[in-house]
């Protein structure tokens, strides 16, 4: 499915190599849970790499590096290196990144409000599934 | 980061095995691009499995099965089997699934409006990166 099919003026944007960037790819990226958590933290203020690592439960150094590099490439964050010893690296949201913070907040609020529903649905599904397996 | 830390009355919901369901897990699930595309299609009307498969570019049978099973387990869709020959399987959004359609639409609209920004940022980043590698 390519949502852009319905609006020729917003056809997929050509990229190097002839590939196209689709809405589904953008959603796959920005819906990623690590990206969402970085955005939630950077909404408040700029953060250093190590602050982000400390505040995001369970993220590895490698995954945080990859997440931030993708976000920088997508134009969502800027990376500022201060040549102190040791060098200091700060990340902050760009204007585009900031405009994404609102939709992400709406999604986060929904998730927060529906945690119990979803946990209950999962328990009920698992109970039914176990019942079938017997 | 566990957003629920800040609201004891909304602490993580205990599940079997002592694990907890966190906002980040819910977002990781609902932000998944396949889930988003299923929701966008089911917003309009109920769909048969094969209709979903046909309309979602690039999804494999296995991935669609997995996506729908997770969504059923999370209480977002219902699955109705009509015992015809061959059996007919329909999926539709539950009320909770329907309540998710709005945040998902906000995210999808953002992605749609920012496709060009993001593609341009990527091209610019790639040009800078290539420049550095020379």
Residue B4 contacts A, CB cutoff 8 Å? yes
Contact A117 B75 (CB under 8 A): yes
Residue B6 contacts A, CB cutoff 8 Å? no
Indicate whether A5 belongs to any domain.
no
3-state secondary structure string across B78-116: EEEEECCCCCEEEEEECHHHHHHHHHHHHHHHHHHHHHH
Contact status, residue A117 vs residue B75, Cβ threshold 8 Å: yes
**Cα–Cα distance measured from residue A95 to residue A76, given in angstroms and rounded to the nearest whole number:** 8
The proportion of chain B whose per-residue pLDDT surpasses 70, expressed as a percent, equals 80
- Residue A69 has a pLDDT of 96
Tokens standing for residue B109:
């609209």
Indicate whether B23 belongs to any domain.
no
pLDDT tens digits for range A32-70: 778 888 998 999 999 999 999 999 888 999 999 999 999
Residue B53 contacts A, CB cutoff 8 Å? no
Phi first, then psi: what are they for B72, rounded to 5°? -65, -45
Indicate whether A100 belongs to any domain.
yes
**Cα–Cα distance measured from residue A61 to residue A114, given in angstroms and rounded to the nearest whole number:** 30
Tell me which DSSP letter residue B119 carries. Answer: H
Indicate whether A47 belongs to any domain.
yes
Tokens standing for residue B93:
């959004």
Contact B40 A3 (CB under 8 A): yes
Indicate whether B22 belongs to any domain.
no
| Other C-beta atoms lying within 10 Å of the C-beta of residue B42 | 22
Give me the residue from B1, B16, B120 closest to A37, CB to CB. Answer: B1
Indicate whether A35 belongs to any domain.
yes
All residues at 6 or more sequence positions from B120 whose CB lies less than 8 Å from its CB, including other chains: A75
All residues at 6 or more sequence positions from A77 whose CB lies less than 8 Å from its CB, including other chains: A38, A42, A68, A71, A91, A92, A93, A94, A97
Domain coverage including residue A67:
31-133
pLDDT tens digits for range B70-123: 999 999 999 999 999 989 999 999 999 999 988 888 888 888 889 888 999 999
Contact B37 A24 (CB under 8 A): yes
pTM, two decimals, is 0.70
- Residue B20 has a pLDDT of 58
Contact status, residue A20 vs residue A12, Cβ threshold 8 Å: yes
Chain A, 26 to 45: residues with Cβ < 8 Å from chain B are 26-28, 30-33, 36-37, 40-41
Indicate whether B13 belongs to any domain.
no
**Cα–Cα distance measured from residue A11 to residue A22, given in angstroms and rounded to the nearest whole number:** 9
pLDDT tens digits for range B42-53: 999 999 999 999
Q: What is the CATH number of the domain that holds A78?
A: 1.10.10.10
Indicate whether B63 belongs to any domain.
yes
- Residue B5 has a pLDDT of 40
- Residue A51 has a pLDDT of 95
Candidates A10, A33, A99: best to mutate against B (most CBs of B within 10 A) is A33
Buried b (16+ CB within 10 A) or exposed e, A71-100: bbbbbbbeeeeeeeeeeeebbebbebbeeb
User: What's the number of domains chain B is made of?
Assistant: 1
- In chain B the beta strands, taken as DSSP E runs, fall at 13-14, 20-21, 47-48, 77-82, 88-93
Total beta-carbon pairs less than 8 A apart between chain A and chain B: 177
ipTM value of the model? 0.71
Average pLDDT, chain A: 82
- Residue B130 has a pLDDT of 77
């Amino acid at each position: 499915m390519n949502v852009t099919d319905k609006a020729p003026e917003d056809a997929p944007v050509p990229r190097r190599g002839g590939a196209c960037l689709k809405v589904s790819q953008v959603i796959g990226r920005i819906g990623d849970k690590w990206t969402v958590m970085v955005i939630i933290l950077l909404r408040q203020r700029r953060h250093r790499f190590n602050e982000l690592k400390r505040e995001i439960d369970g993220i590895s150094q490698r995954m945080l590096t990859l997440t931030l590099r993708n976000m920088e490439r997508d134009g969502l964050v800027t990376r500022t290196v201060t040549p102190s010893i040791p060098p200091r690296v700060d990340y902050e949201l760009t204007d585009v990144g900031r405009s994404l913070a609102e939709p992400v907040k709406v999604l986060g609020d929904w998730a927060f409000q529906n945690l119990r529903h979803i946990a209950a649905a999962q328990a009920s599904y698992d109970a039914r599934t176990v019942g079938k397996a017997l």
